[in-house]
Chain A
Amino acid sequence: MTFTAPGSRPAFPLLALAAGLLGLSGCAATTTQAAAPAPAPVVTGAVPGPDSRVGLRAGLWDAQEAVWNLRVVSKTPPAPAFVGVMNSDLAFTGTYAIQGNFNGMQVWDISNPSRPALAVGYVCPASQSDVSVYRNLLFVSGEDFGARLDCGTQGVQEAVSPERLRGIRIFDISDIRHPKNVGNVQTCRGSHTHTLVEDPNDRENVYIYVSGSSPVRPAEELAGCSRALPDEDPNSALFRIEVIRVPLAHPEQAAIVSSPRIFAGLIAPPTHGAAPEDRAALERAKARGAFILDFGEEHYVLPDRYAAGMLDSLVKVRAGSGAPTAADSATLRERFAAMAAEMTAQRANAPRLGPTQCHDITVYPAIGLAGGACEGYGLLLDLSDPAHPTRIGAVSDSNFSYWHSATLNNDGTKILFSDEWGGGGGPKCRASDPRAWGADAIFTIENREMRFRSYYKLSAPQTSLENCVAHNGSLIPIPGRDVMVQAWYQGGISVFDWTDAANPVEIAYHDRGPVDSTEMQMGGSWSVYWYNGLLVSSEIARGLDIFELTPSAALSQNEIDAAKSVKLDYLNAQGQPRFVWPPTFALARAYVDQLERSHGLAADRIAAVRRELTDAERASGPARSGKLTALAGQLAGGGGTVTMLADAIRELAAAR
């Protein structure tokens, strides 16, 4: 079979690779797994059906939108210098949102969130221009080949050039409207993203963990860069992260201080264990007497037709005839056991390299832990010494293509990893894409070990014109619950509750139709973070979106008000702050609402507590304190949310 080119062009060399007699073509074999059953919601508020995100009309500036349990506060297109160039990540300081863009960065004053005002658009091209901020300093990632030390827009054509910037740019933003480039740190693989790390014991320095995923630059461009394997060159830029120390008083002296090889010795393939359906399949196979290679925690079930073939050959080997006997089966089982033992031994001796870098590291200095999303692994890191993070746990997952980022819950008992399957440029949320691929994986952390609990993936199928996969998000400080908002590129943003790690449930969303109705154009939410009561989203093509939560069956106004009572001075989403709720009536009422929703208190008690709170709020001074103290006393010893309620009321009583 050959193809004829349109027109009368000459035919090209046609390549025919080994022809087989197979009926199945590669194209037709785009197999997908059956979707996992949707988890039962533990909070009310199941997505209304039919899902309003399906079938949205395309448009760059006028796409159709679907919104549920959110209010769109504003949608602001990029400043002209940044239109048509990708927006990337966000950082926040004071009333400003700093938005990275492959052409530089835009600083938005969001003190009036319904009308963000551009404080400065700073042209300084680099991908991905991921940003983070600390006091008067702004850090920006650069990884591509065209980024220049002088921020010029002309690119760098030469493969080796002294003009090129791949690494971290440092700006002084004491005057935020006039950022001043005060230093740059060049790194071997550039900086795809980075993480700002504060050391609670060192107020004079901050640290930057650099995640570089593009190739190692030549030593001629940056001395000392090596892409050899570590056993050939101990200074290889592979298999390590880079840690930059930034002296706050002298940011121009920022330099790499260590390159921890947090992947070293990742030899045993850690897994999070078989999913329940996998275990059930294995049990069924055992029950029907299938031949199984047993590697301890891992098993391989030989498909029956191949077992039959092997048994037949055993019959032939003993020069017998007819059906295989029980003795043949026993022989095969013995051989399998020997094979398993041999392979296990090989595995113990084989050298292996494991991951070479992390995409993102999310640090939570308040509890001394970090989550590293590192190629094929999710790592749990000890941050006791920020200059030298060490690995304390690792998981992998056959459903995960590429471990992208991590989010810990507020009390550090859970961790969520996302899988940026396809790199963010692919449409991985189609109805045909498996629900466990390109999703979040949720783990509980028990005795510093991670235990897999569930997957979470955007439930609304997207078109093949929409790049979509799990991406960046942050916790929302709903007291007593683990709630997070997450960007899914052109899948929009999704707010979900993962308090029950085994049953995450969506409670709000926003989505647009595709950027273009004819072909896929990069767009959608790169990242969305909660910051001082707002959900701020960096839309790759469309600009800056700001949302507010609205009350629903799954989230009360009191819970939203309590979340809004948490004020941050700044936020880098990869550096998680610990949320602390100031004592407010909203906080107490949020817990009451939760107890009502979960039936944790009888209806009459709920009503009584609400009356007492109203009564106390109307009072003042010692009278208020007295009422609150009495109420807290009545609730003492209730356990769980009742205890949190009692504590909140007691703190309120003590507040002035």
Chain B
Amino acid sequence: MSASRTRWATLCFAALAAAACGRAPGTGAEPAPRPSGASVTELDALYRARTDSARRRFTEADVHFVTGMIGHHAQALVMAGLAPTHGASPSVATLCARIINAQNDEIARMQQWLRDRGQPVPEVRITGTTLMVHGPEHLMHMPGMLTPEQMRELDEARGPDFDRLFLTYMIQHHRGAVTMVRDLFGTDGAAQGDVLFKIASDIQVDQTTEIARMERMLEAPPAPR
């Protein structure tokens, strides 16, 4: 539908991004010695020109991937956010805390990637298990996303049941992300820029590693922390 192609940009994660924007610089310092060779001004101009030029190198497939992955990550935040109230075992709680930390940071990286390229930035809001993503993508159609029924089932589980269901569904969810990366990398001209190549590679590697870890945890709850 045509409306879904219209885009708008807005800053999201107000609470999470605050730290990234509000940091005061240090005070009263000696400037570093001037680098040898080119003047600082020349180096600076070169740096800006080259990083700007790198930012212009992206494709529609890249934007589609990043936009979708923000929504995909957001659902992981919802799932992991249940741990403290659903009787997760300490090891699953630790895993959830790590997922929240990691995926919040990656969402911020991906939002910056879109912002730097003048692209609409999806807004994510989470209230309880209600996830709202404003954006052009059809969130439910991304690989690995939990259906509303699955999310309800997870929300109703407690203790060891929650652990088992969380691990099962997060493995499904992570596998979807890995599929998204694979699709991106299989597209002509995609992921040519270093920043996106790194983001996508990191997602693939981290989530593949985490899938293996969760498979182990499913078989036996690891030691309490």
B45 to chain A, nearest CB (A): 9
Of B26, B38, B49, B219, most buried by chain A (CB within 10 Å of CB) is B26
Q: In the complex, how many residue pairs between chain A and chain B have their CB atoms under 8 Å apart?
A: 357
Known: A9-B8, A29-B83. A159 touches B186 (CB 8 A): yes
- A27 contacts the other chain (Cβ, under 8 Å)? yes
If A18-B149, A19-B130 are given as contacts, then 8 extra A-B residue pairs at C-beta distance below 8 Å, sorted by A number, are A3-B123, A24-B128, A27-B15, A85-B54, A159-B186, A214-B197, A300-B160, A401-B102
Bound CA–CA A86/B155 (angstroms): 44
- Counting from the closest, the 6 A-B pairs by CB-CB distance are A26-B81, A84-B50, A423-B202, A64-B29, A57-B26, A18-B151
Once the chains bind, are B223 and A145 in contact (CB under 8 Å)? no
Interface size for B (C-beta < 8 A) is: 127
Once the chains bind, are A18 and B148 in contact (CB under 8 Å)? yes
For the side of the interface on A, what is the size category? 35 or more
- A305 contacts the other chain (Cβ, under 8 Å)? yes
**A115 surroundings in chain B (CB, below 8 A):** 36
Once the chains bind, are A306 and B25 in contact (CB under 8 Å)? no
- A228 contacts the other chain (Cβ, under 8 Å)? no
Known: A16-B131, A83-B47, A305-B87. A520 touches B112 (CB 8 A): yes
Once the chains bind, are A282 and B223 in contact (CB under 8 Å)? yes
A371 to chain B, nearest CB (A): 17
Once the chains bind, are A22 and B129 in contact (CB under 8 Å)? yes
8 sampled A-B residue pairs with Cβ under 8 A: A14-B132, A31-B96, A61-B43, A75-B32, A79-B37, A84-B50, A84-B54, A422-B206
A233 to chain B, nearest CB (A): 17
Bound CA–CA A25/B74 (angstroms): 12
Known: A355-B212, A376-B212. A32 touches B188 (CB 8 A): no
The stretch that binds B, out of A133-141, A325-333, A341-349, A407-415, is A341-349
**A76 surroundings in chain B (CB, below 8 A):** 35-37
- B66 contacts the other chain (Cβ, under 8 Å)? no
Pick from A155, A347, A356: contact of B208, CB under 8 Å: A356
> Nearest B residue to A22 by beta-carbon distance?
B128
- A474 contacts the other chain (Cβ, under 8 Å)? no
The stretch that binds B, out of A312-320, A425-433, A635-643, is A425-433
**A12 surroundings in chain B (CB, below 8 A):** 3-4, 134-136
Once the chains bind, are A57 and B47 in contact (CB under 8 Å)? no
Known: A80-B38, A343-B219, A346-B219. A513 touches B25 (CB 8 A): yes
- A60 contacts the other chain (Cβ, under 8 Å)? yes
Once the chains bind, are B78 and A17 in contact (CB under 8 Å)? yes
Q: Mark B33-47, 1 if CB is under 8 A from A, else 0.
A: 111111010011011
Known: A61-B32, A464-B23. A423 touches B198 (CB 8 A): yes
Once the chains bind, are B159 and A306 in contact (CB under 8 Å)? yes
Once the chains bind, are A61 and B101 in contact (CB under 8 Å)? no
Once the chains bind, are A30 and B97 in contact (CB under 8 Å)? yes
B199 to chain A, nearest CB (A): 7
**A2 surroundings in chain B (CB, below 8 A):** 132
Bound CA–CA A1/B44 (angstroms): 46
Once the chains bind, are B185 and A214 in contact (CB under 8 Å)? yes
Once the chains bind, are B3 and A10 in contact (CB under 8 Å)? yes
